[in-house]
Homo-oligomer: A and B are copies of this chain.
Amino acid sequence: MFPTTVIKLIPFIEAIGIIAFCVSGFIRAQQHKFDPIGVFIIGFVTAFGGGTLRDIMLDRRPFFWVEHEAYIIALFVFSLIAGKTLHFMRRVFSLKSMLVADALGLSLFTITSTAVALDAGMPYFVASMYGVMGATFGGVIRDVLCNEKPLLLIDSEPYATCAFAGAWLYLILMYLNVQAILSLALGSALVFVLRMASIKLKWRVPSGF
């Protein structure tokens, strides 16, 4: 029973994560006064850039967004009315709920990316890197296109670190032959809990320098 519920939840969490990532792209686009084409491109790379780079590197096709065209058509429409979209998101959702949505996306995309890389025959450490990359490099491409230093590399927030920890929990559970869906649920849960705790408790990654 547990697995079935979890499996049914996945598309919902996925949609929540994609929306959160797109909104973070829209906010950045607004700060930089992007035009509607720019808004669409930034929303797109923030939400799908990490997974697309992962699939290019693993030589996997078709891309997620090619099979789920509805997502990018919706993104296109919301880009044309980005001001209204952002206004609506801000009125209905608090900053806190947006952070929760982003953390849900981070959690799910980390573990699905790790699973995809493991499936493709990658060794464990490489799979954990793909997990982190799939979930976080959309934001890196977004920042590069905005001509800023990528937040992921400089802000000392344990964002990638939370993803890394969850990826390893997933890999260890898989190594121990725990059921795939349970491993996915526990790995994602660890990413989510660590991310929420790191925001609440203002954790910082100690500088290596």
Contacts and interface: CB of A to CB of B under 8 A. Distances in A.
B35 A73 contact: no
Nearest to A149: B147
A53 to B, nearest CB: 10
Contact of A66 (B30, B34, B126): B126
A3 interface: no
Contacts of A83: 207-209
A32 interface: yes
Interface stretch (A4-12, A37-45, A96-104): A37-45
B126 A38 contact: no
A69 B155 contact: no
Given A36-B207, A145-B140, A208-B81, A42 B129 contact: no
Nearest to A208: B82
Contact of A57 (B63, B122, B206): B63
Given A35-B205, A80-B208, A154-B32, A145 B145 contact: no
Given A66-B122, A145-B140, A160-B37, A82 B209 contact: yes
A46 interface: no
Interface in A170-209: 205-209
A145 B144 contact: yes
A153 interface: yes
Contacts of A79: 208
Nearest to A207: B35
Interface of A: 29-30, 32-39, 41-42, 52, 56-57, 59, 61, 63, 65-66, 69, 72-73, 76, 79-83, 86, 122-123, 125-126, 129, 140, 144-150, 152-156, 159-161, 205-209
Given A36-B207, A144-B145, A147-B149, 11 more contacts: A32-B154, A33-B154, A34-B153, A35-B153, A37-B161, A38-B154, A59-B59, A59-B61, A69-B125, A73-B125, A86-B209
